[in-house]
A and B are shown apart, each in its own frame.
Chain A
Amino acid sequence: MIEFNFLIPIEDTIFLFSAALLLISAVLVIELRSHVYAAFFLEMVGLANAVLFALQGLALIAIFQLVVYVGATVTFILFSVLMFKEAKPVKPRFKLLDLLIGAGIAGLLAVGAFSIYKVSPTAGKPSLDVTLPEKIVSEYGLALFLVFFTLLTTLIEALVLARREVSS
C-alpha cells in the first residue's frame, strides 16, 4: 500500500462537485420541459445528497438514501412519468413573485440556521455509526416494525389505487 498525497484537497473537491450537482440538478428539475429529464435530475439530486451525507460521516444513511430513495422511489417516479404523455406546452406565467418568495424563504432559513448554529468545526467522524444496527434492533425494534408496516400498507394502498379501473 502506498500513501497518496493529493495536491488538491480531495474532500473539498468532492464537496464542491456534489453541491454544484445538487443545486444545478434541482434547478433543472424545475425548469426542464421534459418530465422524464426532470425525474432523471431528481435522481441526480438524491445521488448528490447521498454523497453529501457520506461526506459528513454518515455512511449508513447515505447507503439507505441510495437504496430506498434513489434506487426505488425515484426509479418508481421515473417509471411512472414515462407512462404519461409529454406535457403540452403551457404559456409562461409571471413567475418573478414566486422566485422572490423562494429566495426570501431560502434567505430566512440561511440566516436562521446561522443564528442557531454556532460555527465551530467539529473534529473526527461520529463514532456512533458502529453501534447503530444493534441499537435499531434492540431499542427501536417497534419503530422499525412500524416503518416496515407503513411502507407495506402504503405500497398496497398505492397498488390498489393504481389498479382501480375507470368506471365511467
Chain B
Amino acid sequence: MINPYLYLLISSVLFGIGVYGILSKRNMIRMLLSAEILFNSALLALVSFTSYTKNVYGYFLVFLAVGIAAAEVGVLVSLAILLYRRRGDIDVMEVDKLKG
C-alpha cells in the first residue's frame, strides 16, 4: 500500500510545473497544454481524496470534471484554429492587436 500523501505530493509538483508553463509561455497552444497539466494535477488530487475517504460523491465529481474538460478542450482548440486562420500566428501577446 502506497502512502496516500505521495499522490498529493505528485499532484502538487505537477501543479507547480503547470503554473510555470502557463506563466512562461506565450504560445496559445503551449498555454493550453499547460492548462491541461493543471487539470490533470487537480484530477489526481481529487481522485486520491476520493480513494482515501471512499466517498461516492467524489466519483461523480471526477466524472463530471473529465467530461467537462473534454468539452472545454474542444472549444479552446477550435478557438486556436480560428485565431490561427485569422492571423497566421498563435502568439497570445499579439491577440490584443486583433481588430474586426
User: Which positions in A face B, CB cutoff 8 Å?
Assistant: 11-12, 15, 19, 22-23, 26-27, 29-30, 35, 38-39, 42, 45-46, 49, 52-53, 55-58, 60-61, 64-65, 68-69, 72-74, 76-77, 80-81, 83-84, 87, 90, 93, 95, 98-99, 101-107, 109-110, 113-114, 117, 119, 121-123, 126-128, 131-132, 135-136, 140, 143, 147, 150-151, 154-155, 157-159, 161-162, 164, 166, 168
Contact = CB atoms under 8 A, between A and B. Distances in A.
A150 B65 CA distance: 12
A77 B41 CA distance: 18
Interface in B9-60: 9-21, 23-27, 29-30, 32-34, 36-37, 40, 43-45, 47-48, 50-52, 54, 56, 59-60
B20 A98 contact: yes
Contacts of A60: 59
B33 A132 contact: no
B51 A58 contact: yes
Interface residues on B, range: 35 or more
Contacts of A49: 40, 43-44
Contacts of A53: 44, 47
A84 B90 contact: yes
Given A117-B5, A158-B78, 7 more contacts: A22-B14, A29-B33, A53-B44, A103-B20, A107-B16, A109-B11, A113-B5
28 contacts: A11-B1, A11-B2, A26-B18, A30-B17, A30-B30, A30-B37, A49-B40, A52-B10, A56-B47, A58-B62, A61-B47, A61-B66, A65-B43, A68-B67, A77-B33, A80-B78, A87-B27, A98-B19, A101-B20, A104-B16, A109-B8, A121-B3, A122-B1, A122-B54, A123-B1, A128-B54, A150-B68, A154-B72
